[in-house]
Amino acid sequence: MNIYFIFPLIFMLHELEETAFMPGWVAKVKANKNKRLAQTIPEISAKNFTLMVLEEYILLLIIMLFCWWTKNLYFYFAVILAYNLHILFHIGQAVIFKGYIPGLFLGIVSLGLASWLIWLAADYVSRGKVFAFMPLVVIIIVVNLISIHKWIHF
């Protein structure tokens, strides 16, 4: 299977776990009065969280199709690296809060799978060109997250 089409499947592993466990986890954290953790979590309904995940997935599919159509592995690998950094952030959250964070388990699995994809194609891709796309990818992600959070809380 083409590398362009595999990553969205890997991405959804993590997102499905988040979607399934986030609402209950947030309610539990807020009920336990864990002020340190509860203050960092915005109020969001399961429906709105699912809509956010759907929007992110649609954006990823658009990026995937664009990269596949233009044969731009550099930009696509920058997206995969940014995703891996996102998963490392979740691992850091779990360590800091000393417990499970929704998306952690399948995030770790998807981190391994996404890293394997990168390793498989490493000989075909210039690391310098991939890292050159990282600032653009980070900007797209940050702008998207800010926009979607504003839209959801509108």
Q: What are 39-91's pLDDT values in tens digits?
A: 777 777 888 889 999 999 999 999 999 999 999 999 999 999 999 999 999 99
Quick one: pLDDT at residue 6?
92
Q: Is the pLDDT of residue 37 over 80?
A: no
Give the integer Cα–Cα distance in Å for 6 and 13.
Answer: 11
**Mean pLDDT of all residues in the chain?**
89
Mean pLDDT calculated for residue range 112-133: 91
Mean pLDDT calculated for residue range 1-22: 90
